[in-house]
Amino acid sequence: MDRLKAMQVFVAVVKGGSLSAAAAALDLSRPAVTRCVAELEGWTGARLLHRSTRRLTLTAAGEALLPACRQMVELADGMRAAVAAPDAALSGQIRLTASHSLGQTQLAPAVAGFVARHPGVSVDLVMADRTVNLVEERIDLAIRIAVELDPNLIARRLCDCHSVVCASPAWLAAQGAPRHPAELAKVNCLTHSYFGKSVWRFHGPDGAPEAVAVGGNLSANDAMTLLAAARAGAGVAMLPVVLAAPALAAGELVPVLEGWTPQLAGVHAVYASRRHMPPASRALLDFLVERFVADPAWGPWSPARSA
């Protein structure tokens, strides 16, 4: 049995939703598609599809096998392309996910530059302010900002992400500017649902760590929403400098806690498999590393940036 062909057929059946659709997509007869699926089931020793008169659905074994089959098919396609034309342009589709704020402000311009360089590649941007399951949602790369990642994840650090604690001039005029992190426990803090929800961490002027419990009457799972709330005078926010810099430069927000450095986070690219990454995905990963590391927008805030 040509196991690779059987895997290709299985992937096409799932994508098309039927044996007939897979047959049309692969230019095969329907009996040939049926035979390939049956042979793959025989090789794995498990039933992969529930067949009914109306539709096909994956069994538990089919769901478990599908990601590996997709990776094998993509790897084989990449190998064939590399051997046939080593200098040929990259091609294929990449599914890329990130939060709305990161996607809109940084990732979309970066991807625009990448596809301009590689016109044979298409990128499907999936914006989601939640942790996405890479395998279930067929994501090639997930860009995440975090202090620490699950050690079981496969990831590459793109760059550092500095934060700044800030508030609007009107809020500071009414409430006064906090001068020590401990004072944050007594003021209204705008918190992120997934990042520093209840504790903000700093390093002091002498490098010593400091943690303070924070809370307030507004939280959100999107940093751009917190930025808008801070500009409107709702309270104090800890925001990525890359997002807050325009408002800081315009005087719409004012940094506080001079001398105290918010805990450093990292921008990470997370992916499902190190060995089976398609060439286009690897090229995008390298492109993002090169672009993000060289971009001063990810650095710490200083008044000189607004000059």
For 146-177, the pLDDT digits (tens) are 888 877 778 899 999 999 999 999 999 999 99
Decide if pLDDT at 87 tops 60.
no
What average pLDDT does the segment 70-76 reach?
81
Lowest mean pLDDT among 43-47, 48-52, 133-137, 226-230: 133-137
What average pLDDT does the segment 109-128 reach?
93
In whole angstroms, give the CA distance from residue 166 to residue 258.
10
What average pLDDT does the segment 16-27 reach?
85
Residue type, 210: E
DSSP secondary structure of 201-223: EEE-TTS-EEEEE---SEEES-H
The model's pLDDT over 205-227, given as tens digits with 9 standing for 90+, comes to: 988 899 999 999 999 999 999 99
pLDDT for 138: 84
Tell me if 177 sits within 8 A of 187, measured CB to CB.
no
pLDDT for 81: 59
Nearest Cα residue to 267 out of 167, 90, 149: 149
Q: Which two tokens mark 81?
A: 């392309």
Tell me if 127 sits within 8 A of 156, measured CB to CB.
no
Distance of CA 174 to the CA centre of its chain: 38
Decide if pLDDT at 228 tops 70.
yes
Q: How many helices (H) and strands (E) does the chain have?
A: 10, 15
pLDDT band at 189 (very low <50, low <70, confident <90, very high): very high
pLDDT for 86: 45
pLDDT for 82: 58
Which residues, in sequence order, are bridge partners of residue 141?
96
What average pLDDT does the segment 95-106 reach?
92
pLDDT band at 53 (very low <50, low <70, confident <90, very high): low
| pTM given for the model | 0.69
In whole angstroms, give the CA distance from residue 222 to residue 197.
12
What does the DSSP 8-state code read for residue 264?
Answer: P
What average pLDDT does the segment 87-103 reach?
85
Which residues, in sequence order, are bridge partners of residue 143?
269
Q: Is 83 exposed, middle or buried (0-12, 13-18, 19+ CB in 10 A)?
A: exposed
Distance of CA 282 to the CA centre of its chain: 15
Dihedral in degrees, nearest 10, Cα atoms 79, 80, 85, 86: 10
Residue with tokens 């090639």: 140
What average pLDDT does the segment 12-24 reach?
86
Decide if pLDDT at 307 tops 60.
no
pLDDT for 174: 96
Question: Who has greater pLDDT, 211 or 76?
Answer: 211
List of domains in the chain: 3-84 (1.10.10.10), 92-159+266-296 (3.40.190.10), 163-263 (3.40.190.290)
Q: Is 80 exposed, middle or buried (0-12, 13-18, 19+ CB in 10 A)?
A: exposed
Nearest Cα residue to 216 out of 232, 197, 202: 197
pLDDT for 150: 78
